[in-house]
């Protein structure tokens, strides 16, 4: 089962209906959609005005919701998705994702939420009562938590409804990207560059051990990416994750990085295979619909 399949929940629900066959992403500079038909993924994207979406956890995100809704509607029409329930992917900087470690996790879902809320409450960038939170148990001691300001999620959901669809599931796009990558059966570091953001996610056996969304003022640099690469190297060298083999190698998976930066990062990880993700613009929506059938 893929990571996305395990995260079949809205931010504010721990139970949810089956993952929709259609996924929509709203991102800085573009909107994208993907649909699974007869085992094949069909994906498309449309450009958005550069200033239409500004991802933020604490400020308004949609500066031109009308322009975004128009492009979303065109995508929905092309995918036969008008009136449908979809998976809605929002920018990683809009939400927050954390992997939290505890001595032992409780068994009840409401107790998991309360524990995560208690751990995170002092570091929230918005009012405590505005937090929408979802948890996913990764192990008896490790918890994956996604949370956001309710008002920020409402912006995206309202825009989607104006375009003619409804969000059944809401996820940060970086989590959906993990589900698009078949290389995660052993261990991999995903580095995904988007306008204004660098997302780093280290996954082991399809589950995240590290997730970080770094706000950028310009293109991603070596200094921006190196801390995540150093974490990757430390996990490979010191953690008992098992040796890489020809069938399950360690991988450095990149999306949207400049070629010279990829080369330099690959030099820092000679024991890992460099893999460029296909279809950078549609990576997240492709992962969202592939996760449905995993």
In this predicted model, which residue has the larger pLDDT, 233 or 220?
220
Judge if 50 and 129 occupy the same domain: yes
Judge if 29 and 135 occupy the same domain: yes
Q: The CATH number of the domain where 200 resides is what?
A: 3.30.420.40
Judge if 108 and 246 occupy the same domain: no
pLDDT at 181 over 80: no
CA distance 117 to 156: 23
Q: The CATH number of the domain where 15 resides is what?
A: 3.30.420.380
Q: Which sign, positive or negative, has the C-alpha torsion 15, 18, 19, 22? A: negative
In this predicted model, which residue has the larger pLDDT, 65 or 219?
65
**CA 93 to chain CA mean position, Å:** 10
Judge if 36 and 121 occupy the same domain: yes
Judge if 17 and 94 occupy the same domain: yes
Judge if 286 and 271 occupy the same domain: no
For residues 201-219, give the mean pLDDT: 87
**CA 113 to chain CA mean position, Å:** 20
Judge if 248 and 167 occupy the same domain: no
Judge if 135 and 173 occupy the same domain: yes
For residues 115-130, give the mean pLDDT: 89
**Coil, helix or strand at residue 255:** strand
Judge if 195 and 167 occupy the same domain: no
Judge if 250 and 168 occupy the same domain: no
In whole numbers, what is the pLDDT of the chain averaged over residues? Answer: 86
Judge if 126 and 212 occupy the same domain: no
pLDDT at 239 over 90: no
Judge if 199 and 223 occupy the same domain: yes
User: Is residue 170 within 8 Å of residue 12, measured between CB atoms?
Assistant: no
Confidence of residue 244 (pLDDT cuts 50, 70, 90): low
Retrieve residue 180's tokens: 């698009």
Q: Total domain count for the chain?
A: 2
Residue 198 phi, psi (nearest 5) = -120, 120
Look up the domain containing 251 and give its range. Answer: 181-276
Q: What is the pLDDT of residue 237?
A: 75
């Amino acid at each position: 089962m893929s990571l996305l399949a395990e995260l079949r929940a809205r931010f504010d629900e721990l139970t949810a209906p089956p993952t929709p066959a259609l996924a929509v992403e709203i991102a800085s500079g573009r909107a994208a959609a993907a649909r699974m038909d007869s085992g094949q993924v069909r994906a498309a994207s449309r450009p958005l005005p550069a200033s239409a979406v500004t991802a933020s956890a604490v400020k308004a995100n949609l500066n031109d919701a009308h322009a975004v809704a128009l492009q979303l509607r065109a995508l929905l029409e092309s995918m036969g998705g008008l009136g449908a329930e979809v998976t809605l992917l929002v920018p990683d900087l809009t939400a927050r994702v954390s992997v939290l470690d505890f001595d032992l996790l409780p068994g009840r879902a409401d107790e998991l939420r309360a524990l995560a809320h208690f751990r995170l409450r002092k570091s929230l960038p918005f009012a405590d009562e505005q937090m929408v939170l979802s948890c996913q148990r990764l192990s008896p001691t490790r918890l994956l938590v996604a949370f956001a300001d309710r008002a920020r999620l409402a912006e995206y959901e309202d825009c989607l409804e104006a375009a003619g669809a409804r969000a059944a599931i809401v996820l940060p796009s970086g989590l959906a990207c993990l589900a698009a990558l078949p290389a995660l059966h052993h261990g991999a570091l995903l580095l995904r560059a988007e306008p204004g953001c660098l997302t780093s996610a280290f996954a082991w056996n399809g589950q995240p051990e590290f997730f970080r969304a770094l706000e950028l003022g310009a293109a991603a640099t070596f200094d921006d990416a190196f801390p995540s690469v150093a974490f990757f190297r430390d996990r490979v060298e010191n953690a008992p994750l098992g040796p890489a083999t020809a069938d399950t190698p360690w991988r450095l998976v990149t999306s949207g990085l400049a070629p010279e930066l990829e080369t330099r990062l690959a030099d820092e990880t000679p024991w890992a295979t460099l893999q460029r993700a296909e279809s950078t613009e549609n990576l997240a929506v492709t992962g969202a619909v592939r996760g449905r059938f995993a």
